[in-house]
Amino acid sequence: MTPSTLPPLPGVPAASRAALQEILDRTDPAILGVVLSGSAARGMATERSDVDVYVVRTEEAGTGLETSRSPAVDEIPTTLAEIEAPGALGTDDWWYRWSFAHAHVLRDDTGGRLTEAVRRHAELAGEEQRAVLVDRLDGYVNFAFRALKAERDGRPLELRLDAAESVTWWLDTVYALRGRVRPYNKYLPWALREHPLGVPEWSADVLLPLLERILDGDPGALRTAYAPVERECLAWDRAHGGTDLADTLAGWGDQLDLLR
C-alpha cells in the first residue's frame, strides 16, 4: 500500500475528510485503490452533498458487497475487473460511466491500471465512438425534425415536447464527437466551463443559453444547434476515413431542409 494524503476538497466537511482519510489509511491487502467521485471530486460539494467514494477490491474480496452509507461518506465497493470493463451503450452500466469522469484517484496500488481504467470510462474512441455517434445522431435528428415539423404544423405543445426530448440526444452527439461521454445534467455547466469541448458553438457561454432556448421551444434555436453538428459530423468522417455519419444524415433526405 502506498500512503496517500487527501487533496484539497472544497466544501467537503471535516467529518467526511476524516472518513476518507481513514479509508485511505486501511492496510487491508484486498483493497487495490480508492476513487472519489460526485460533487466532492469536482469542487462542487455543499453541506448537503453525499461524499461518494469507490473502494476498489480484489475480485474475491469485492464480490457481493453492498454500499455502506453514513452521514460522512458513502462507501461503494467495486472490483478492478468491473472498472476495467466500462458499460457499453444500451446497457445499465452505460449510465454510470460519467461518474468516473474527472474523478480523483486517491489511491492506486495497481501500478496505474486503476487510474487508466477510470480515465477510460469517460472517453470514447474507435468503434465504440463510431457506434455511439451513429446511434445518438440519428435519434437527435429524429426529435429535432419532429419538433420543427410540429412548429410548421401549428402544434406548439408538441414542438416544446420534442425540442426538450432532442436535448439528451443532441448533447450525447456533441460530446461523442469530441470523444467523451456526456456529463450528468447537474454537471453540464461545470464540465463545459472546466473542460471545454474546443468548438466555439459548444462553449459554455454559447451552448448553455442556446440550450435554454431549445427547452423553450424556439425553432431558431433548434436550427442553430443543428448547423455545427452537421459540420462536425462531416469533419469527423473525413478524419476517420469513413462516411458513417454522412450516411446517417443522408438517410433523412430532403427532410433535413427543415433543420437548415
- Three cell numbers written together for 185: 445534467
Give the tens place of pLDDT for each residue, 130-154: 999 999 999 999 999 999 999 999 9
Which helix or strand (DSSP H or E) is residue 28 part of?
A: none
Q: Report the chain's mean pLDDT, rounded to a whole number.
A: 94
* Residue partners of 208: CB distance under 8 A and separation at least 6: 188, 189, 192
Residue 192, Cβ neighbours under 10 Å: how many?
Answer: 20
Give the residue among 76, 73, 63, 67 at the shortest CA–CA distance from 34.
76
Taking the C-alpha atoms of residue 17 and residue 87, their distance in angstroms, rounded to an integer, is 30
Taking the C-alpha atoms of residue 55 and residue 79, their distance in angstroms, rounded to an integer, is 8
Give the tens place of pLDDT for each residue, 46-101: 877 788 999 999 988 767 778 888 888 999 999 999 999 999 999 989 999 999 99
Taking the C-alpha atoms of residue 147 and residue 124, their distance in angstroms, rounded to an integer, is 29
Write b or e for each residue in 76-88: b if 16 or more Cβ atoms lie within 10 A of its Cβ, otherwise e: bbbbbebbeebee
Q: Is residue 119 pLDDT above 80, yes or no? A: yes
CATH topology of domain 14-121: Beta Polymerase; domain 2 (3.30.460)
Taking the C-alpha atoms of residue 181 and residue 123, their distance in angstroms, rounded to an integer, is 6
Give the tens place of pLDDT for each residue, 148-187: 999 999 999 999 999 999 999 999 999 999 999 999 999 9
Contact criterion met (CB below 8 Å) for 252 and 144: no
Note the pLDDT of residue 48: 78
pLDDT band for position 1 (cuts 50, 70, 90): low
